[in-house]
Structure formats: C-alpha cells, structure tokens
Amino acid sequence: MNPLRLLGLLLLLITTAVAQNPTPSPTPPLLKPDERLKVDVLLVVAHPDDETGVVPYLVQLIDQHKHVAVVYTTHGEAGHNNMGPERAQSLGSVREMELRHALASVGIDNVWFLSGRDTPSQNVLESLANWRQGAVEEELVRTVRLTRPEVIITWMPGFFVGENHGDHQAAGVLATEAFDSAGNPTVFPAQLAGPVKVNETLLDGLQPWQTKKLYYFPDSADDIFKGTGPTYQTNGMAKALKIPYWRAGFETFKYHLTQYRTFIERMKAMDENQVAGQEKNWGGEGSFVFGKSLVPGNVTGDVFEGITPKPIAFVPVGREPYPQPGAISVELSGPWGFYEKFRRAHGITKLPQAKEPEIAIKRGATLLVPLELHNHTDAAKNVTIAVKLPEGWTTESGAGGLTLDPQGDYYWQVTLDAPKAETKERQEIECTASADGKTLATIKISVQLRNGGLPQN
C-alpha cells in the first residue's frame, strides 16, 4: 500500500476512535512491588571478587530454591589490570563485566552496583569520605527496599589485623546502617513517596523494608570469630551445577582475570585430579558472625532459623549509651574511636573484638596514633603525653606537653616509626596521657609488622 494512503487510514481510525470514545483514559492497574526483585539473602560487599568466600553458601541457597542478590558498593577500579591498559573507571567497567559473568556462571544474575569509589587503605573513614557516605547509603537503602531481603550478609565492620580493607569495613558499616534504617519511614522519604506523574522522575514509590537478620564475615582469620555464628559445609554436591559447593567459589574466581591472571592461568591448567585436590585450599567449613536478629533463634543457629515469609514491622535500633568522658579526657580516635561509638549506636556491642586496638603495618612504615583531647573544665590544663615503645621503634612527633584551653576539644596525632627488622611476635606500643599528676588514659595498640599490605591511611 502507498505509505501516504496507510497514514491517512491510520489517522482516520484514530480520529474515529476518539470521536466514539471521549471518556478519559481508563484507571491504571493497581501494581504491587515487583516480585522479580524480592530476595531471601542480600550480600553486601565492596569489590568484584569479595563474593568468592560466600559463593558456596549462596549456591546452597539457590539449591534450596532461595533467591539471592549481591550488591557491590564500588567497581574495584583502583587496582591493577593484568589484561589490558584499561584503568580507572574503564577498569571498573571491565571488573563489573567479569563479575557479572562469574556470578551468572553459578546462577546468580541479580547483581547491583553502587557509586562508591575504590579506596585502597585500612582507614574506613577515608573510604566513607571518598564514597560520599550519604550518597551510597541512600543507594543501599534503596536497594534494600527494592530487594526486600530476609537476611543481609556483609563484611564485618571493625578494625582488625587481616587484609583489613577500608572499603570492606565501609560496606559493613553501610549495610548495618541500611539494616537499621530501610524500615524507617522517615529515612530517605522521597524513596517512599508514591509517584504523582506517569513518567515520574523524582519519587521512587517504594515501601519501607525491615530485614530480619544481619550476619557478618570478617576480613581476618583471627580465632576471636570462631563460634560466633552459624557454620556450613562446602563439601556437598551442588544439585544444579553438579560440582561440590566449594568448587563454585573456585570456578567463579577464574573470571577475575584483571586481578589474578597468572594465578587463574595456573588454575585453568589443572586436570580434574588436581582440581579435586584444591578442596584443601577452597573447601572446608564456612561460617558467619552473628550480627543481630529481630526474630527468635540462636547465635549459632541456621541463618534462616526463626524466619517466616511474613514481613515484620520496623524495629527502631536499641542504642546503648556512650560512657561519659571525664572532665579531662584523652581517647584513641580515628577508626578505632569510631567503632567504639558505631557498635553502641547500632546495638552490636557483642560483636567479637580484639583484646586491645590492633593494626598490621609494613615493616619500616610510620604508625599514626590519632587522639582526641577534651578539656571540659573552666581552667586551662597541661596534659603530658608519654610514649613507651618496643626496641627499634622511634617517636617522630606528638609526645610531650600540651596546653588545653578551658572547654577545649582537640585532635592530636602521635607519629611513630616502626623498625625495618623482621619480627614475628606482635609488638605493643603504649601512649600514656596525664594531667595534674594523674593518669588520664593509657592507650595500647598491638602492632603486627609485615612485609606489605594496605597502608594505614
């Protein structure tokens, strides 16, 4: 048919339809939240490859017909690239692609990426600053409200000797915040406003969501985490994949070529017997650390113990009071000080803790000891900071006398240089603050010196 004649016919049809049916558009259908997004477990991690240790557990959940999703708070774009010249944001895009392929290979295609920036240090506060914490927190709360998880599993928010990546800690911090706030109808209320236009661009139309349980996994192999949560075995056979569960972690890891090309080429060159022998490295018992639960159950009980399909109402977090500081106080600040307050603010003071503040740094590196000093009296006060160090250490700055103004609040830093020599044992550094002939505080930090690893800041 002549195209002009077709157009004329269409116009005639439309005009006739409008003339015959002048009533307004019909009532739109009543839509419920999108069921395709609903999950049982939401894993919240920082970088592509962070999922590796938890993949065997997620595959077990899929075999039980549970739904899982994984959130990455960064794209892991700050690393090296073993595959090509792509760096920075382009490397982030490549790593996102590697990760999506990895998880799709074991049946996980529900993957979300947030806008945090990969920040290579041990300092969680630097990660939160570089991510613009509020922005990523809003994105994560939105993701929780979209996916409505029964359980959130995430990195342990704490400062421990281990890899101790600041981004891992920050993922755990924001996941804990999201657990406590996604059900709160006053938090990010624009997400909870119903759309007012057909093509709405501002109001999300979501509902508050209270997740029932929160579990952590640490970035450290310390014994203090043993027995603090549920365990699971990884030697069973995955029903859909027909490989042992531990091997699902082994197989997904092979996709992270920009990070581990040489290692992965060795993995790929293994014959079946050699792969089977890898169970000693990749298998064994998996475990989580119990964070908090709003349903009945035990600390070491199954992750889904006490969980029923019925949603639960928002439960405001039970904050625990902060200890009141003395008239003059000197405290450890930085990430160590932050976590003291964070645990209380989120009702997780029972989480495993190091006996005393600890850190691992490179041999010969500088250790910064961040302090907060408060003088809540109406008189100026002289405070003396004395440092006691193991052999080989030196004080660069920060020891000596300080005068605190009346009602004065200060940050201060003691800078120490670690020895280059090899030491196997942990070392203890000690800062003592005193005023008016009395000791205000004795701050001890247990330090492990190692050959490399992430910088303190």
Q: What is the 8-class DSSP label of residue 106?
A: T
DSSP string, 49-89: TTTTTTHHHHHHHHHTT--EEEEEEE--TTS--SSSS--HH
Q: Are 222 and 46 in contact (CB under 8 A)?
A: no
Q: Are 367 and 416 in contact (CB under 8 A)?
A: yes
d(CA 442, CA 448): 20
CB of 45: closest distance to Zn ion in angstroms? 7
What are the tokens at 419? 């020895």
Total binding residues for Zn ion by CB under 5 A? 2
Determine the interface stretch with Zn ion among 47-55, 62-70, 316-324, 332-340 (rule: CB under 5 A).
47-55
CB of 210: closest distance to Zn ion in angstroms? 28
Closer residue to Zn ion in complex, CB, 41/45: 45
> Quick check: 256 binds Zn ion (CB under 5 A)?
no
Work out the widest C-alpha separation in the chain, in whole angstroms: 103
CB of 74: closest distance to Zn ion in angstroms? 9
CB of 49: closest distance to Zn ion in angstroms? 6
CB of 163: closest distance to Zn ion in angstroms? 8
Closer residue to Zn ion in complex, CB, 47/95: 47
Q: What is the Cβ-side half-sphere exposure of residue 395, based on CA atoms within 13 angstroms?
A: 15
Residue reference for tokens 């030491």: 423
> Quick check: 219 binds Zn ion (CB under 5 A)?
no
Closer residue to Zn ion in complex, CB, 171/387: 171
> Quick check: 47 binds Zn ion (CB under 5 A)?
yes
CB of 67: closest distance to Zn ion in angstroms? 24
CB of 172: closest distance to Zn ion in angstroms? 12
> Quick check: 50 binds Zn ion (CB under 5 A)?
yes
What are the tokens at 159? 């400062």
Closer residue to Zn ion in complex, CB, 95/346: 95
Q: What is the 8-class DSSP label of residue 244?
A: B
> Quick check: 358 binds Zn ion (CB under 5 A)?
no
Closer residue to Zn ion in complex, CB, 50/77: 50
> Quick check: 98 binds Zn ion (CB under 5 A)?
no
Residue reference for tokens 């440092």: 387
Closer residue to Zn ion in complex, CB, 42/187: 42
* Residues in CB range of 360: below 8 A, 6 or more apart: 161, 162, 164, 447, 448, 449, 450, 453
CB of 256: closest distance to Zn ion in angstroms? 11
> Quick check: 95 binds Zn ion (CB under 5 A)?
no
> Quick check: 77 binds Zn ion (CB under 5 A)?
no
> Quick check: 75 binds Zn ion (CB under 5 A)?
no
d(CA 328, CA 381): 8
> Quick check: 117 binds Zn ion (CB under 5 A)?
no
d(CA 24, CA 26): 6
Give the binding site for Zn ion (CB under 5 A): 47, 50
